Chain A
Amino acid sequence: MSKIKSAWRKFIGFIKKAIQSIKLFFGKPKVKKIFLSIWIAIKKTILFIFKLLKQPVIINSLLAIFFGLVVGFIVMWATAGSFDIAVQGLMRLVKGGSTNLQSFGNVLFRSAPLILVGLSVAFAFKTGLFNIGASGQYMVGGITALYIANLVTMPAPYHFILAALGAIVAGAIWGFVPGLLKSKFNVNEVITTIMMNYIATYLTVILAYRTAVYDNLLTAVNTTFPTANIPKVGLDTIFPNSNIDLSIIIAIGVAIVIWFILKKTTLGYQLKAVGFSPEGSKYAGINNKRNVIISMMIAGALAGLAAAMSYLPLKPDYFRPVTKINAMGFEGISVALIAFSNPIGIIFSGVLISYIKQGALTMQFVGFNKEITNIITSVIIYMIAISSFIGFYFRNRSQKRKIKKMLLKKGGETDVS
């Protein structure tokens, strides 16, 4: 017994000493200062996150994503006929992209072109233009990048840069045409960009079949061009075995640049003004027509760059000559809409779409088609389309309630008097 008692005393003493020393340590003004500042920083970031989350736009996005997942789950439940399998499917969808660093690296890798196409659509949106033509600009940019990669010989980094620049220029030209038609002839850009998509599709099929670039075994454009590949810059050491490369950094960088242009430059201000009110901006002396063209050209350039990011990596998408419009442009619309066309938000929505797609690939093992991603994105987009109305409705209702309460209070007072 006494042994235990003495041990206990020793233990208590130790604890007391430890507490005292900790108190002493924190009592020192220097340490106190450091910890206080860290604590304040944590507090500030948490508050900032809360503030950010409280913004209606972000709340709307998150709610829409939640609704999308709910509907996706219901569709799975209804088709599988079993709750358990549907839950399994949903878990795979939610977890699939982050099972390990490799798969998350691949998610980031795949998100780079999505972010850039999203930026393309969003940039046109800001000028009041709807760029359904991102697909065409993407295809034209892709074939240009591949031609430069295959036919030009150059040392390593410059070859890649040239190919990417070629894609940008080709995309910009493809965006220029609808822009010009819109500003000169007032032809609806929705129709012209769709037509440009088809022209791009058939044009690229013709170009891709050329023997100089076509690979018969691959049934696609040749993909071995070591000097034109996107450099990996050591990112694959962080995400081992994944395909991640410089493209994601380029995409994020471009997103920030676009944000800067739209937010901080005269050009961005003018473009937004044109989008907000064409008549008003004209009155303010802004050259409407020029801005429409510039906006479409930048949008096209971004889509072209996106194509370079998907066709130039070591493990690229294959450029197959098929007479079908590339789906990338439509995915770009989703990415842009989910982020409400905010360039910084697009970084996240691009990663989100890429993440869901990766998860959907693993879902096929439980017997679900990967198309569930598009069902979910369409619900998200629909919810976003009607979100402002729903928000408005709720705000209206809460205001009405407040007024009712006030009236009731007043009514009570008058009763007393």
Chain B
Amino acid sequence: MYHNLLSYLALVLVVAIPLIITAIGGMFTERGGVTNIGLEGLMVIGAFLGILFINKVPAEAVGGRYVLFFLGSLVAALGGVLVSFFHAIAAVKMRADQIISATAINILTPALALFLTFTLNLGQGDKLPINANPFRISEVPILSKIPFIGDLFFTNVLPSIYVGIVILIAAYIVLYKTKFGLRLRSCGENPHAADAAGINIYRMRMTGVMISGALAGLGGFYLILGFTIEFDANVSGYGFLAIAVLIFGNWKPFNVALSALLFSALLTLSKGVAFFPALENLNINSNVWSMLPYVATIIVLILTSKNSLAPKAIGQIYDKGER
């Protein structure tokens, strides 16, 4: 039973970490007042570039596999920033409909990834092979001896788990304890007041969107690395799920992390059922289990809709000349 529970929780973490990272990215853009349903597309481009990088660059050339891992993460994040720049400039500077320009990103990046993989022969057909095993940390010396936590967090894990935790804490500090965070939040709540206080709304919002690009790229890379063995320019809707996680987490870092864990527990249920004989004996179609998180999301959204703390100026185009 203990081992079953452990392997289920490990699976939950594999999904939860990328969701946390991406949802926190979403938090930065939405707290600044710009919606970004392009997270899905940004995850795809991050995963594509990151995996391409770790496939093509030999570990010896950069000095070790963990260095390669972090360089890959960097490439994934930069890819996300680059693509999200287009959304940022359209949605913030050019007063475009934020949903439309993000949709363009969602259509562009999977197509671009597939097209490049196929035309330039980067993988097999239009798929990139993935081998995450070299990057797994088999055991962290002393820490892995801690009873439960040691098995879950410090044995046979990808380094992404630590990156995720660092990002979560950093996000909290940046958003609540720095000048930048305060300014960003004010842009999402009342941009006109923020403007009057001398804050450059355009620059703040663009930064917010680009942070979300970086984090979504990173999230996509980690998701694909931990979850599959073949990348076909598809992150199976986790970008959209991250938005749901964000809403459920009420746009607050630690709530977002908790809701991501809850979501992941539900998301992995269809695979996790195998670990629990009691549930497996119910003999329910695995697709019903797969459906569950989405039904739960809708129910949760209904229940939380009354006390939603959404940024007030979210989705609104800021125009200096208005009023």
Tell me the A residues contacting B by CB distance below 8 Å: 75, 79-80, 130, 132, 177, 181, 185-188, 190-192, 194-199, 202-203, 205-206, 323-325, 330, 333-334, 337, 367-369, 371-375, 377-379, 381-382, 384-386, 388-390
B55 close to A (CB within 8 Å):
no
Report Cα–Cα, A368/B114, bound state, in Å: 11
Taking A206-B288, A337-B100, A385-B101 as known contacts, 14 extra A-B pairs with beta carbons closer than 8 A to each other, sorted by chain A number, are: A132-B37, A181-B301, A185-B302, A185-B305, A186-B305, A187-B298, A188-B247, A188-B301, A192-B298, A202-B288, A202-B290, A369-B114, A371-B111, A381-B103
Cβ-defined contact, A130 with B126, below 8 A: no
Instruction: Name the residue among A130, A196, A367, A378 with the largest chain B CB count within 10 angstroms.
Output: A378
Knowing A191-B247, A199-B295, A369-B114, the reply to whether A206 touches B285 (Cβ < 8 A) is: yes
Interface residues of B in 82-100 (CB under 8 A from A): 86, 90, 94-97, 99-100
Cβ-defined contact, A378 with B288, below 8 A: no
Cβ-defined contact, A187 with B301, below 8 A: yes
Q: Which 8 A-B pairs have the closest CB atoms?
A: A374-B111, A378-B108, A369-B118, A389-B94, A382-B104, A385-B96, A378-B107, A385-B100
Cross-interface CB contact of A181 among B106, B240, B302, cutoff 8 Å: B302
Residues on the A chain within 8 Å of B90, using CB? 382, 385-386
Question: How many Å from the CB of A340 to the closest CB on chain B?
Answer: 10
Cross-interface CB contact of B115 among A188, A330, A371, cutoff 8 Å: A371
Residues on the A chain within 8 Å of B105, using CB? 378, 382
Instruction: Name the residue among B101, B118, B294 with the largest chain A CB count within 10 angstroms.
Output: B294
Residues on the B chain within 8 Å of A197, using CB? 237
Tell me the B residues contacting A by CB distance below 8 Å: 37, 86, 90, 94-97, 99-101, 103-108, 110-112, 114-116, 118-120, 126, 234, 236-237, 240, 243-244, 247, 285, 287-288, 290-291, 294-295, 297-298, 301-302, 305-306
Knowing A369-B118, A385-B90, the reply to whether A198 touches B291 (Cβ < 8 A) is: yes
Cβ-defined contact, A381 with B298, below 8 A: no
Cβ-defined contact, A199 with B294, below 8 A: yes
Question: How many Å from the CB of A131 to the closest CB on chain B?
Answer: 11
Residues on the B chain within 8 Å of A385, using CB? 90, 94, 96-97, 100-101, 104
Report Cα–Cα, A374/B109, bound state, in Å: 9
Cβ-defined contact, B107 with A330, below 8 A: yes
Residues on the B chain within 8 Å of A203, using CB? 287, 291
Question: How many Å from the CB of A324 to the closest CB on chain B?
Answer: 8
- Could you show 17 A-B contacts with beta carbons less than 8 Å apart? A185-B302, A187-B302, A191-B240, A192-B298, A194-B243, A195-B297, A198-B294, A199-B295, A206-B287, A330-B103, A369-B126, A374-B107, A378-B108, A381-B104, A382-B90, A385-B101, A386-B96
Cβ-defined contact, B115 with A375, below 8 A: yes
Question: How many Å from the CB of A30 to the closest CB on chain B?
Answer: 56
Dominant secondary structure at the B interface: helix
Report Cα–Cα, A132/B107, bound state, in Å: 13
Cβ-defined contact, B305 with A389, below 8 A: no
Which B residue's beta carbon lies closest to that of A79?
A: B119
Residues on the A chain within 8 Å of B243, using CB? 190-191, 194
Report Cα–Cα, A205/B285, bound state, in Å: 10
Residues on the A chain within 8 Å of B288, using CB? 202, 206
Cβ-defined contact, A374 with B108, below 8 A: yes
Report Cα–Cα, A198/B86, bound state, in Å: 28
Residues on the A chain within 8 Å of B306, using CB? 185
Residues on the B chain within 8 Å of A374, using CB? 107-108, 110-111
Cross-interface CB contact of A323 among B94, B96, B287, B301, cutoff 8 Å: B287
Cβ-defined contact, A198 with B237, below 8 A: yes
Cβ-defined contact, A195 with B86, below 8 A: no
Instruction: Name the residue among A181, A368, A382 with the largest chain B CB count within 10 angstroms.
Output: A382
Which B residue's beta carbon lies closest to that of A203?
A: B291
Cβ-defined contact, B106 with A330, below 8 A: yes
Report Cα–Cα, A181/B112, bound state, in Å: 35
Cβ-defined contact, B107 with A130, below 8 A: no
Which B residue's beta carbon lies closest to that of A194?
A: B240
Cβ-defined contact, A378 with B237, below 8 A: no
Cross-interface CB contact of A369 among B94, B108, B115, cutoff 8 Å: B115
Knowing A79-B119, A181-B301, A198-B294, the reply to whether A375 touches B99 (Cβ < 8 A) is: no
Cβ-defined contact, B104 with A195, below 8 A: no
Cβ-defined contact, B294 with A195, below 8 A: yes
Residues on the B chain within 8 Å of A202, using CB? 287-288, 290-291, 294
Report Cα–Cα, A375/B113, bound state, in Å: 10
Cβ-defined contact, A386 with B119, below 8 A: no
Which B residue's beta carbon lies closest to that of A372?
A: B115
Residues on the B chain within 8 Å of A206, using CB? 285, 287-288
Question: How many Å from the CB of A412 to the closest CB on chain B?
Answer: 32
Report Cα–Cα, A389/B247, bound state, in Å: 30
Cβ-defined contact, B305 with A382, below 8 A: no
Residues on the A chain within 8 Å of B297, using CB? 191, 195
Question: How many Å from the CB of A72 to the closest CB on chain B?
Answer: 10
Residues on the B chain within 8 Å of A330, using CB? 103, 106-107
Residues on the B chain within 8 Å of A177, using CB? 298
Residues on the B chain within 8 Å of A187, using CB? 298, 301-302, 305
Cβ-defined contact, A379 with B104, below 8 A: yes
Report Cα–Cα, A130/B98, bound state, in Å: 11
Knowing A205-B287, A385-B101, the reply to whether A368 touches B119 (Cβ < 8 A) is: yes
Residues on the A chain within 8 Å of B101, using CB? 381-382, 385-386
Cβ-defined contact, A130 with B99, below 8 A: yes
Cβ-defined contact, B305 with A191, below 8 A: no
Question: How many Å from the CB of A293 to the closest CB on chain B?
Answer: 15
Knowing A192-B298, A369-B118, the reply to whether A378 touches B94 (Cβ < 8 A) is: no
Residues on the B chain within 8 Å of A188, using CB? 247, 301
Report Cα–Cα, A330/B100, bound state, in Å: 12
Cβ-defined contact, B100 with A190, below 8 A: no
